[in-house]
Chains A and B, each alone.
Chain A
Amino acid sequence: MQVPIEYYLILSAFMFSVGVAGVLIRRNAIIILMSIELMLNSANLALITFSSFMGNSIGQIFAFFVMTVAAAEAAIGLAIVIAIFRNKLTVNIDQINLFKW
């Protein structure tokens, strides 16, 4: 382990903030889902970094469960996007404003 642990954690923090910016800035629902995948991946990177530096495989098992949940979330999210597109003919979240008041 010749790379310090902080470097990995800073990369993870950077990817998480890019994901936050993507969710807040973009209006396309599919790209918002992609930004959520970015954030989940940065959490995975932090888990695997700590697991590997502590010599303990439990963190990697948690990263594995995070991947499972990410797969389920992507499937459901994209199905919802398709259902919305069928009703409204758009995926721009500024025009999907039924609950806005």
Chain B
Amino acid sequence: MNLELILFLILTLVAAFSSVMVITRKNPILSAVYLILNFFALAGIYLLLNAQFLSVVQVIVYAGAIMILFLFVIMLINTENEASILADKKPIKVFAIFIAVLVFAQIAYLIFYSNPAELSNGTIENLIKAGQIESIGRELYTTYILPFLIAGYLLLVATIGAIILAKKKFE
């Protein structure tokens, strides 16, 4: 057992456990807190994958900005807890779980059938350089400059749309 594998197993257990907790808690605030835990575990996994920039962005954007938004909305609208998650409409929900298991089985079959390990042919310098801010920034500002600008425009439109939708008087 080397250190990388041990770290990966711990982070994976945290991520899997917290993702199940997100959809099984009755109180939405607890769900949000477990989702934050899940995002931190994923940031650790990105670090294991040599993606330092994405790891930092994950903590700042997801665990910081988006989850604060969720917590504020939960605080604003003060929802009642769901009485029970599985009790009402039980056959439909059991069928829904069956569909989710089916999706998982299908993706797992694809992963093992397509043998993705043969894709990993990068040299060791490439592997280290891929996650660094320098190479990401160079690609982002040269080849992908148009999608980058469109992403900025999308954020502007989303901000205006959110303000208009959440305004007091909807006219």
Taking beta carbons and an 8 Å cutoff, which residues of A are in contact with B?
1-11, 13-22, 24-28, 30-31, 33-35, 37-38, 41, 44-45, 48-58, 60-61, 63-65, 67-76, 78-83, 85-86, 90-92
- 25 of the cross-chain contacts (CB-CB < 8 Å) are A3-B4, A6-B112, A7-B12, A8-B45, A17-B101, A21-B96, A24-B97, A25-B85, A25-B97, A26-B23, A31-B31, A33-B70, A37-B66, A52-B127, A55-B121, A55-B130, A56-B122, A64-B57, A69-B154, A74-B69, A75-B158, A76-B165, A78-B162, A82-B77, A83-B165
Given contacts A54-B122, A75-B158, 5 further A-B contacts (CB under 8 A): A3-B5, A18-B22, A49-B49, A72-B158, A73-B158
Residues of B within 8 A of A22 (CB): 22-23
User: A4 and B117 in contact (CB under 8 A), knowing A18-B19, A37-B35, A60-B53?
Assistant: yes
Query: Is there contact, CB below 8 Å, between A51 and B130?
Result: yes
Within 8 A of A (CB), among B36-74: 38-39, 42, 45-46, 48-51, 53-54, 57-58, 61-62, 65-66, 69-70, 73-74
* A17→B111 CA distance, assembly (Å): 14
Query: Is there contact, CB below 8 Å, between B96 and A78?
Result: no
Kindly name the residue among B70, B86, B99 whose own CB sees the greatest number of chain A CB atoms within 10 A: B70
* A51→B108 CA distance, assembly (Å): 19
Smallest Cβ distance from B52 to chain A, in angstroms? 10
User: A80 and B119 in contact (CB under 8 A), knowing A17-B107, A74-B66?
Assistant: no
Query: Is there contact, CB below 8 Å, between B93 and A25?
Result: yes
Query: Is there contact, CB below 8 Å, between A11 and B15?
Result: yes
> SS class of chain A's interface: helix, strand, loop or mixed?
helix
Q: Annotate B1-35 by CB proximity to A: 1 below 8 A, 0 otherwise.
A: 01011001000100110011011000010011001
Residue on B with the closest CB to A50?
Answer: B119
Residues of A within 8 A of B76 (CB): 82
* A27→B97 CA distance, assembly (Å): 14
